[in-house]
Structure 1
Amino acid sequence: MPKPMTHRPHPWQAYNLRGSPYFQDSLSRNARNTSLSLFVGRQRELRKLLIRIEGSLTGSRQAVAGRPGIGKNTLVEAVKAEARDAGYWVAPKSIALTPEAGSLDLLGQVHSGVYGAVTASCANASGPVVETAQQLVTSFRLHGGGLTVGALGFSGGGSRSEGVSQPPSALLLDGPRVLHNLLGHALAQGARGVLLHLNNLENISTEHARKAADKLRAVRDQALVLEGLHVIVVGTTDAVCTAVLRHPQVRSVFSEPLVLDSLSLLEVEHLLQKRYEALQLDAGGPQPASVDAAVIQELYGLFRGDLRAMLRALEDGIVELLITDQHQTTAPGSLAPISRDALFTVLHRFHQVELKRQLGSTMWKRLEAWAAKDAAAPQSQKQLQKIWKLSQPAVSQILQDPGIIVAVEALPRHGNDPIQYLLTGAARLALLDP
């Protein structure tokens, strides 16, 4: 006879919570613990994006930009939920603008996104238009995203490295027709439009951002400007601005990118309070905070508004402390807040080990030299040359290495001024003396 299942006490039960209030997932409408009811701030930006969608009778193309981790995708999830309530059909998944994929892959993903919006929003999605779109999407998915064009139209196969310059002429003729008909079908069924979310323009090189710009230019007439289609592109500021402003053909059909500021400290505190309340196990029980407000304030300053990284640090550090034997035996809801020194000691040790492992001893010594100069101050490549005693090409190569993003963040460029670089919050935690 099998033994009855036993449930191990959840570490967050010590704070009368059914889960971590420091989760980093984007909010979504139907999620229990990450519901959009926890959305905080951004009301002005939310209304601005929605007004542009609802104010266009033919379609819209917008971009949301900002530093990593400040809530860009969560804002777009809120826009999608509001748009869905207003009668727009929304693609269930976002579309990844990956650098290795070609323009035909992007075109295929747009088809898949619109088809997904139609089938998710219309219970009786059928007829020749839907069936033709289904055949195209099935072929695209079965062959790993690549598309070729046979004598009778679309067929599977093809290369994922298709360039952006000259897509096959049959695709130029048939692709827009299939997509146009599918969008027309959605509008005829009562949809006010179809909304797509293009993502993944974050922590990428200038070269990859330019490739994204080329892909958007290549599919502009075939997809982006078709009647009934609304597109929101999301990513870090420099990447998004490069993608949508580099080519005049794309710039002319996109609204000016909406660049987000970080949530204020007051908004972050409100966000955490809403999460504590939503995740409470016993509504009548005690609700102790896991850390004092002063700790939140200090981490907010260290991470400079990078909410995702700050929440990850809080979760990593607190969980490490909660799983000790001392806390396992504590009655639910009876723990005092974790002290600043205990939390920062754990985070310092954790991030130092991780950065040394990921970057190696040589790069770690360079970070130490930077921190000794001024860990909080931005530095240009010229200044880093002096700190690291390296040539300009060597410094440039280091800063272009994708692995360096765990420790160094490039700030958005202003005009022709040199790019400024900052140590990330994780790097500063690793380098500080707790």
Structure 2
Amino acid sequence: MIAAQPPSTLRYAWTIVALLFPVALLNYLDRQMIASMKVSVMRDIPSVGSEENWGHMLAQFKWVYAFFSPIGGYIADRFSKRYTICTSLFVWSAITWWTGHAKSFEELMWARSLMGISEAFYIPAALALIADYHTTLTRSRAVSIHQMGIYCGVIVGGFAGYVADAPNLGWRWAFDVTGIVGLLYAFPLLLLLRDKSRYVDADTIGMASASVPASKENEFKKLLKALGVLFGNFSFILLVFYFTLPAIAAWVVRDWMPAILQKEFNISQGKAGVSAALYWQAAALVSALFAGWLADRWMRRTQRGRIYVSAIGMALIVPALFSVGNAPSMHSFGLAIFGLILFGIGWGFFDINNMPILSQIVRPDLRATGYGIMNFVSMMFGGVADWSFGYMRDRHVPLNVIFTAFAAVCVFSAVLVLLIRPRDTGDSHSHH
């Protein structure tokens, strides 16, 4: 039987989600908007020079973000999710402000690298804190609302090109404003967020000793021990692959779709940018809410409820990729948009259940570390996907061939998630 939370605890659990929603929005807005303002930034900073340099700068963010994700997750688990979240927000907001004052390509590269480091600490800590406060009855819905903040950030970022083109505003103004907003928000956030006591977490019953720092072994040994526990768990390895493989397609959709739509359908940069971001992110935003509700309902019947909802999402992504890949050869802009909307619906189902599934197979004091590792692998493959997609496009590999390969990868992913074996049926007891 799954125990319900007392009203006061549940109220604060939802307060956590409300407090983190704007942080999630800024986390993605601050990293996305530079892509929408490319023309203005390159015109203003001539030393960027080439498309290759621009691509290198975008990739640099991913590599650095990937490397620091597990470190950020481990620090959040070992010390404090609250301080990790607030410090991350403060530092990346300062760097966002500084980006708006960059004068050279070298400065821009440093800014993006440092932003990659500072932003890497946020997502694992935030999702783990939400999972700490939300039990099986509300966890998917809580994560879905947080992820909606991310989708909103991407959508707002998609319109940043219009801000860059505005004579009285410009790209530097956009970085100034978002940087200052984040800096100011970090202070009330620090006052209002609370870490959940690791000694009284219902999930840890039966394994409390694992959460209590009994020995004085050094941090490196503790990190190795944590990695040993995670990689000794076959379901965790399956989840890492399941999390990573669809992200290969998602990074290409996110980073290349504006260019694809512009070239294949001969439309303006503004229309291509908005079409590429708005439709699938808006679809993900709506479907995430429904998927969160459905997953929490399904969990009342079976502990595999979240896994089934996630697998449905993966099944929707497969035809979506076929549609997007074949639309140019069929000269159908409508089919491309239909594919992007379907991709967004599937993505919402997939994206909001990753931390809740992780919470079913990994103990609470390793969740942020686990998610950091998932982020690391996913972002590394995302960088490779961006590079290899450009390589294939230079060699005129047809779009439908590339996207059919992505669809095949997603079919394989759907099989992987169904092999995951949850270890607990609720938060009132544990089967670790």
Coarse TM-score class (shorter-chain normalised): under 0.3
Higher RCO, 1 or 2 (CA under 8 Å, sep at least 6)?
2
Q: Higher strand share goes to which structure? A: 1
* Greater radius of gyration (CA): 1
Q: Higher helix share goes to which structure? A: 2
Q: What is the TM-score with the length of structure 2 in the denominator?
A: 0.23
